[in-house]
Chains A and B, each alone.
Chain A
Amino acid sequence: MTASTAPARPESEAAATSPWVERLRRVGRALALPAGSVVLAFLIGAVLIALAGGDPLASYEALACGGFGISCFGGETPALQISNTIEFITPLLMAGLAVGVAFRAGLFNIGVQGQLILGAIFATIVGLRLASLPGVILIPLLMLAGVVGGALWAGIVGVLKAFTGAHEVVTTIMLNYVAYNLLNYLLINGPMQAPNSSQISLPVGQNAQLPTLIPQEGLFFGQPGGAYHASIGIFIALAAAGVYAFLMRRTALGYEIRAVGQSQRAARYAGISVRRTIIVTMLISGAFAGLTGGLMIAGGSLHYLYADLKFDTTGFDAIAVSLLGQNVAIGVVLSAILFGALHAGGLVMQSDVQISSHIVEILQAVILFSLAANFLRSLKLRLPSLGREPAKPDGMEAAQAALQAEVGSTAAAEGDGRA
Chain B
Amino acid sequence: GGTSSTSGGSSANTIKVGLVTDTGGLNDKGFNSLANQGLQKAKSELGIQADVTQSTKASDYVPNLTNFASRGYNLVIAVGFLMASAVGQVSQQYPNVKFALIDSTPADAKGNSVTRSNVTSLLFKEQEAGALVGILTGMLEKQGKTPKKSHIVGAVGGQKIPPVDHYIAGFQWGVAKEDPSAKVLVAYSDEFSDPTPCANKTDTQISQGADVVFQVAGGCGLGVLTEGGKKGIYTIGVDTDQSASDQSVIASAVKRVETATFDAIKSVKDGSFQSGTVLFDLKNDGVGFVKGNLPVPADIQTEIDSVTNQIKSGAVTVPDTVKP
Contact = CB atoms under 8 A, between A and B. Distances in A.
B70 A188 contact: no
Contacts of A73: 1, 5-6, 8
B65 to A, nearest CB: 9
Nearest to A201: B111
B160 interface: yes
Interface stretch (B50-58, B140-148, B277-285): B50-58
Contacts of A80: 66-67, 70
B82 interface: yes
A198 B56 contact: no
Contact of B111 (A59, A84, A195, A224): A195
B52 A350 contact: yes
Interface in A7-62: 55, 57-59, 61-62
Contacts of B62: 229, 301-302
B5 A74 contact: yes
B298 interface: no
A203 B109 contact: yes
Nearest to B26: A356
Nearest to A317: B57
Please tell me the size bucket of the interface on A: 35 or more
B89 to A, nearest CB: 7
Contact of A57 (B1, B18, B72): B1
Contacts of B61: 301-302
A307 B2 contact: no
A196 B111 contact: yes
Contacts of B160: 188-189, 198-199
A357 B57 CA distance: 12
B59 interface: yes
Contact of A75 (B8, B59, B86): B8
B181 interface: no
A357 B159 CA distance: 26
Contact of B63 (A307, A344, A358): A344
A174 B90 CA distance: 37
B111 A308 contact: no
11 contacts: A73-B8, A80-B66, A188-B159, A196-B107, A229-B63, A296-B59, A301-B89, A307-B159, A309-B58, A311-B58, A351-B18
Q: Name the 10 nearest CB pairs between A and B, nearest first.
A: A58-B2, A301-B62, A197-B111, A75-B71, A194-B111, A351-B51, A224-B93, A308-B58, A226-B93, A84-B63
Given A199-B161, A351-B52, 18 more contacts: A58-B2, A75-B8, A88-B63, A188-B188, A194-B110, A194-B111, A196-B107, A226-B93, A227-B69, A229-B62, A301-B89, A311-B57, A311-B58, A312-B58, A348-B67, A350-B53, A352-B8, A353-B5
